[in-house]
Amino acid sequence: MARLALLSVSNKTGLIDLARSLIEEFNFDLISSGGTAKAIKDAGLPVTKVADYTGSPEILGGRVKTLHPRIHGGILARRNVPDDLTDLANNQIRLIDLVVVNLYPFEETIAQPNVTLDFSVEQIDIGGPALLRAASKNFAHLTVLCDPTQYEDYLQQLRENQGEASLEFRTKCALKGFLHTSSYDASIASYLSQQQKTESTLPEQFTLSGKQLQALRYGENPHQSAGWYQTGNTPTGWAAATKLQGKELSYNNLVDLEAARRIICEFPDTPAAAILKHTNPCGVALGSNLNEAYQKAFNADAVSAFGGIVAFNQTIDAATASELTKTFLECVVAPDCDEDALSILAAKSNLRILILPDLSNGPTQTVKAIAGGFLVQAADDIIADTSKWQIVSDRQPTQTELEELLFAWKVCKHVKSNAIVVSSDRTTLGVGAGQMNRVGSVKIALEQAQDKAKNAILASDGFFPFDDSVRTAAAAGISAIVQPGGSLRDADSIKAANELGLVMVFTGVRHFLH
C-alpha cells in the first residue's frame, strides 16, 4: 500500500516540487486541506481533501479542518504497539508517514499598520500547531517538516536510505517542529500582553524566543562560542540591515554597533557622527555637514578611534568616505551610502559597511542573563526635556551653554557608569567611563580634554556625592555642569558651584548604564 503524507502549509514555497517527488518517486498518497489542496490539484497532481478523507467537512469558516481522529490517530499511532495498530484498523485509519505543515503568518499580520485585534486573532493557527506537536512527538515513527528548506534534505534521505528517513534526521525535524510552535506561541503571547492595559509595564511571564540568523566565529573571546539570533520571522533591526562590503560581523562588532545605533539616534536632525570603542563613545560631534561632524569626532580622540565603530545619522557622501579611508576602522553604519562614497570605500575591502535605514527602530526592553534566570527592563529611551531642568546655581546658563549642556547630557547617557563627558562646540573633548568613583571619571575626562576644558561643559550620568568633582572641574576651567541631582549633599555641590562661578543644572533624571 502507498504511504500517506499530510500537507497543509501557509507558505507554499517548494510545495509542488515536493508533492511531485513524493508521488512520482516514492509512491505517496497525499491528503491536504484548503489552499494547499487547491495548489496541488491545480498543478495536475492527485490529492485527497482532508474533509473527504475524514468524512467531516471544514466548519467554522475553516477554523476546524484537521482536528479529527482519522488525522491525529494516523499521526500519533506507535508502529510497535499492537493495540495502537488495532485501534487504527477498527476505525479505518491509515498510518501517516509524513506531516508537512507551516503556520498562519501571525507575525507578518501584526507587523502591518493599523491591524485590528479581531483580524490578528483570526491569524492564530490552531490545527497547524496541533499537527506539528503530534508529529514531532511521534518522531520515532514518522517525519515532520515545518520549513521549506527541509524539503530537499528529506527527499535526499529517502533516496539514500531505501525510501526511509533516518532516526537522526527525524529527531532533528521534531526538534525544529517544537521550536517552531514554541516561537509561534511566544509571539502570540507577547502580542496579547501588549494589548493589555495594566499598571505594570512588564508581563508576569516573559518568553524569549529567536532563531539563529548566523553562527558567529566566537563570542567576546575566542574560547567562547556565540550565535546571532533573530526574534520573529520578519527581519527587523540589525537582522534587516544590508552589509555592502567587508568581513563577516563578529559578536563584539554587533554589540558595539548596537551601542552606536543607540547614541546616534539622539541626534536625528543635525549631521552627527559617533565613534565607539568597546560600547563607549570616544568621539561624538555635530557639524554643518557629515564630513565636518566625522572629522570633529575623530579628532576628539584620534588614538582611541583606531579600530573603532562609526555611526552616522545621514547618508555617507564622497567627502566623508575619503576621510573614513584614512584610518583603520572595524565597522561603519549609516542610513544610506551614495555610489561615489561606496566606490571610495571599496579601497578598504575589509571595512564592514552597513546600511540601516531606520536607526531609531530599537528594542523597547533590554534583557540580561543572570544565574538561574534573566533580568528585563524597559529601554532607557526617555527624551531629554530641558523645560524640566532646574538651574540650581546663581549664574544662569547662556543659550549656547544650554545647548552644549544638552549635547553633553545626551552623550553621557550612553557612557558606562560612572560616566563623565566634557564637551565644547558640540564635540566631546573627554570621556570618563566605568570608574569605581565619580571623581576618578572626572579626572580622566579632564585629562583627555587638557587645555580645551577651559569654558567647556561637563555632564555626569549620576549625582555628585561630594563637592570634590565640582571643584576638580572648576580648576580645569569648566564653566557649566549638568547632572541629575538628588544627593544628600547636593547643597555642598551647589555651594561650590556658586563660589567658583559655575552654572549647575539638575535634570532630575539619572542615566546609569551597567
Q: What CA–CA distances, in Å, run from 350 to 22, 252, 372?
A: 46, 16, 40
Cα dihedral angle (243, 249, 251, 255), rounded to 10 degrees?
A: -40
- Residues with a known catalytic role: 137, 278
Neighbours of 160 (CB within 10 A): 11
Angle (CA) 228 229 233, round 5°: 140
- Specify whether the CB–CB gap between 469 and 446 falls below 8 A: no
C-alpha–C-alpha distance, residues 413 and 22, integer Å: 59
C-alpha–C-alpha distance, residues 105 and 10, integer Å: 7
C-alpha–C-alpha distance, residues 142 and 127, integer Å: 18
Peptide linkage before 437 cis (omega within 30 of 0): no
- Specify whether the CB–CB gap between 483 and 463 falls below 8 A: yes
Neighbours of 142 (CB within 10 A): 27
Q: What own/partner pairs with CB < 8 Å and gap ≥ 24 does 196-203 have?
A: 201/378, 202/365, 202/376, 202/378
Which helix (H) or strand (E) segment is 127 a member of? helix 127-137
Which is nearest to 278 in space by CA: 295, 297, 253, 301?
Answer: 253
Helical residues (DSSP H) of 196-301, grouped into ranges:
251-264, 290-300
